[in-house]
Structure 1
Amino acid sequence: MCGRFVVNAQIDEMARLFTALTSNTVPPVPNFNVCPTNQVHVVRSGDTRRQLLPMRWGFLPSWYKTENAVPLLTNARAETIAEKPAFREACRARRCILIATGFYEWTKTPEAARLPWFIRRTDEAMVAFAGIWQDWGPETDRQSTCAIVTTPANQHMAQIHHRMPLILEPDDWPLWLGEAGHGAARLMRPGGEEILTYHRVAPAVNSNRASGAELDRPVA
């Protein structure tokens, strides 16, 4: 799964990397503790070119009456995404990419203490999470919402958690965004062992109110 992540890249860098036209309402950067329901940086395919847009992290199906309805759908499992009523239409027609620098995951000690880890790409490039999106709300107050697609963890990541975000390589972006025809389902598999690296970080990040550049720094 992915419960929180980091965005520490300039917006113009994101736009150049994804060759996207930037909305003037994207959230400010950096954010070292992106939490569910926050506005996040999302790339989706537009009529003539890609768009870099803000979306609420927390997918809202059309039948939700309020944005605080439960469950909070921040992740969508790759194994069932095409079957779940909440996700299946978005999986076919509304795929997107969420941009991150890295993400957090937690392990537990025998005493049940939560130990946080920061996970990033080994090449230190931006992380492209596969996502799906859905517009929600009345026509006078529509908002775009999204979820991150997850897969079973590869062997390397399984030492921390049994699931991981679906991370897309640049060559995969056109297919995932629907620009290269059909066949995106074949991308829904765990990434290779060499893609990610991780290190322990301080327990300050256990709070969703924590902020600051020190949150993703290594600790002994």
Structure 2
Amino acid sequence: MPTHYQAASEPSHFAQRFGLACEPGGSIVRPGQQGLFVRRPRADDAARDSLSRFQIAPGRWGLIPLFSKDGQDLDTHEARGETAFAERNFYQPWKRGHRCVILADALFQAGAGAGETVRVSRSDGHPLALAGLWNGWRSPAGECVESFALLTFGMPGNPEQRRTAILRDAWIDDWLHCPVEETAAYLRPYADDKLVRQVLPVDVAQLRAA
């Protein structure tokens, strides 16, 4: 499972795919830190701009459920695609269709050997489009805090072997705009021959934030 991801570094990827302008930075993002995600415009924003199909937003990686009293860190940076629709932490974003896309140059996960990290990226150099859920939570002070989680799925025949859901380019628009009952159809394995897995001689916890 990914412990960190490296945010997409090129503004052109957001401009070409979504028609959005931003300066992503390309930093390594850890659970509990801020990242960028793309979603359908929120209802109030869509009313102001009916031509926009996409919106970029900053949020915390680690979804804050609506019932949270203090917004403190929970183990909510990943959601199981098979059960998120019924899990207390995730079922409200799921049923509301609060899906999002996180563009990442790479995912980092612990390797099989001690002190190893595996870096996963696309072989064509384009960023990974990670499938996620987002939520907006109202703090006791009245502040709206947005957050997100990455979706995962179990490998066929071995559901405990988890993979992060990577969307094919042709699926991105449909993923964000499809009916809720079609959500699970997009949580499938990405073609292994289109990914590069590089073993790094460094522990994942020692990766730098830049």
1:50-199 equivalent positions in 2, closer than 5 A: 50-69=54-73, 71-92=74-95, 93-109=97-113, 113-138=114-139, 140-153=142-155, 162-178=161-177, 183-199=182-198
Query: Is the deviation greater in 171-180 or in 54-63?
Result: 171-180
Q: Following TM superposition, by how much is the alpha carbon of 1:181 offset from its aligned partner in structure 2, in angstroms?
A: 8.2
The 3-state SS of whatever aligns with 1:177 is helix
Alpha-carbon distance in 1 for matches of 2:117, 2:197: 10
Distance 1:22-1:154 versus aligned 2 partners, 3 A rule: farther
Aligned 1:26-45 pairs, distance under 5 A: 29-31=25-27, 33-45=28-40
Question: Cα deviations across residues 146-172 of structure 1 (Å, max 9, x unaligned)?
Answer: 0000112479xx9xx922110011211
**Which residue matches 2:2?**
2
Does the 8 Å contact 1:175/1:183 carry over to 2? no
Q: 1:211 to 1:134 in 2, by over 3 A?
A: closer
Write the deviation string for residues 80-131 of structure 1: whole angstroms up to 9, x where unpaired: 111212212212320010110011011243xxx2311111012221111000
5+ long unaligned stretches in structure 1: 213-220
Alignment TM-score, normalising by the size of structure 2: 0.83
Q: More displaced, 182-191 or 59-68?
A: 182-191
Q: CA–CA distance in 2 between the matches of 1:154 and 1:114?
A: 28
Asked whether the 8 Å contact 1:42–1:97 carries over to 2, the reply is yes
Following superposition, the deviation at residue 137 of structure 1 comes to 2.4
The equivalent residue for 1:207 is 206
CA distance in 2, matches of 1:122, 1:84: 34
SS in 2 for 1:55: strand
Gaps of 5+ in 2: none
Assess if the C-alpha contact under 8 Å between 2:115 and 2:203 holds in 1.
no
Query: Aligned pairs, how many?
Result: 198
Asked whether the 8 Å contact 1:22–1:51 carries over to 2, the reply is no
SS at match of 1:198: strand
The separation in 1 between residues aligned to 2:58 and 2:161, in whole angstroms, is: 29
